Structure 1
């Protein structure tokens, strides 16, 4: 139903081609010049505190796994990290890799993803897929909106329930995707959830039981402006933030540092508008963040929050993360030992189902103003961040070939079911 084109599950050839591209760049150019934006492998940041220091250096942290970090850094930033005793290995010129991954086309208006990745949904195709689903399953699916982006794009949400037109007294579950613009695989993850819980209703016993017992909400793109900018012209931009202008002439707020809980509290975001983790001038200053917060707030009925479980999907590193991100502590203001134990138990169960690694968010590095911290801190919603496929991969980490859409989204079916079962 939601497939744009025929999907296959054999992506090894395409992935290998990108790997050859990366290693080819290293062999021919890594020792000849230092790029303005280099892709580096960082070793030596073996603790959460050390990784937090790397993040605070202003680099763009792409992924963290097995003791290593992948970052994009300027020559000055790279030199500063080496001065801290860290080992940095240049993997390639980030801008050259982006251009090559997208086919090297000029950045003009584009109607689709770069050639070879057309299996991903553009914003227009995502909206059309949701409307098609609601039309095909009117008794259990309905599309509405949580608000608008900075550039005026609607942020659609789909509700899936056995009595979709009624606000039933049932636990609710929320799935959100595409917080960061370049993480397009996450939109496909949300569309997989939509397809599974509509097309499978009445024939799949587990799906039917979930839809009958819960109200399921799905937001496939929280950052439509950024996502569209990232693919404009058939060349990936590596764009992370939204498209809201800043006072210094730069563009973009990191919406996952802009939520109104412990905003800017703990050195887990940047005050610099040019930073990839810029937290914005004030909490919830990004319209996309306000839209999510307002929707979740609207689900407080009779003084009780109806949403009981939430996953926010990201890429990449293959991790299941739980709150809090703003502190290394497990038992702290807003989190009892019993509550943390529940987060850990459910998180580890989900990680066992999909082969990810489960851990507290701050075990990577400190973040503040994140959606999962806000979901729990403000509303006591059992909220997780999934970092999807791959475990690592530089440029290809954000842009896996579209042949990976099916295997990497279906890989999370079990985890989704576990979250729904625990949303009580």
Structure 2
């Protein structure tokens, strides 16, 4: 549990915050004023010695936990051999080991090819390049509430203005945003397809649109799972209109939803699958995997990057792949999701439990709403929960259109007794949250 000296004036965290203020851009926001010192699996300790249960997991990066021994062993062995080679100039086996795995495991119809990048945003940028090259079209359709990155092109796709787009002026386009069909938005499959038809009747020529980009489960949007039938309809629509379907699984991929990729819940194969976060076990790595003809649309040299597919990060990924298989992480994600559901139901029965709203998501990609007494979203209560949970040794992550949704992004390898401990902390705080008036 946290130490009593958490607020000591001269503690290490305070000194680091002072240094940060002097040298880090104000555009870089920190959710929690916690400076990590060390971590293992789902536990983390800050520079003042306080221990936390980590339900942030690097915002979904640490699928197999902090410093999984298999991942760390692969990294150490690779570091003993060489730490970098730009794959475009001098290729290496770790890169090919990752692309081999992706070709065998990604839900792509027919032969699949891949490229590796440093981040999810970079992967999405390259997916857009390939879609343009393959179709000869520049237009893109994305969805409200979606998040695809902070680079200029990915910001154009992201379906949220503040804080990401504020003050930036025109972004690369053309991009059109449509409603996202899911229970939380109240948008049906019929509504979604009608919005698509209206777009083409009023604003866009179908012959100018090269790609439709969608998260099968929105991350930043609050773990809203897209209606499966809508994904099936999108696949058919893209086929009929010569468009590329791009699935953004940067947060939902690698077993988080109980399947390796969330698109598998709908039985839909995208033309391009965009991945990141959980692939590298904490090391910077992302990827795009797609149909052979789409991935070959650019001439040699059209794809790549200096650090893309760094051999150490690739070695880490091979460790992640083995852990996913050997520790039956797909099954564990389903079990963890069931445990989350049981705990959230338990919270509702506690004093103050009326502040707990609906649960969202699939598998272990779960979230729950914090609501006001009248059932409306309560960002104020959520912010209090974040602060008080942190003071009690639990790190939580917000999301959602109204900033009132708690994402559960603990490693899928978290011991179940630590899940129990985390929810006990939340349960203890409910009466305090219930006493806050919006």
Tell whether the structures are fold-level matches, with TM greater than 0.5.
no
- Using structure 1 for the length normalisation, give the TM-score: 0.31
- Using structure 2 for the length normalisation, give the TM-score: 0.30
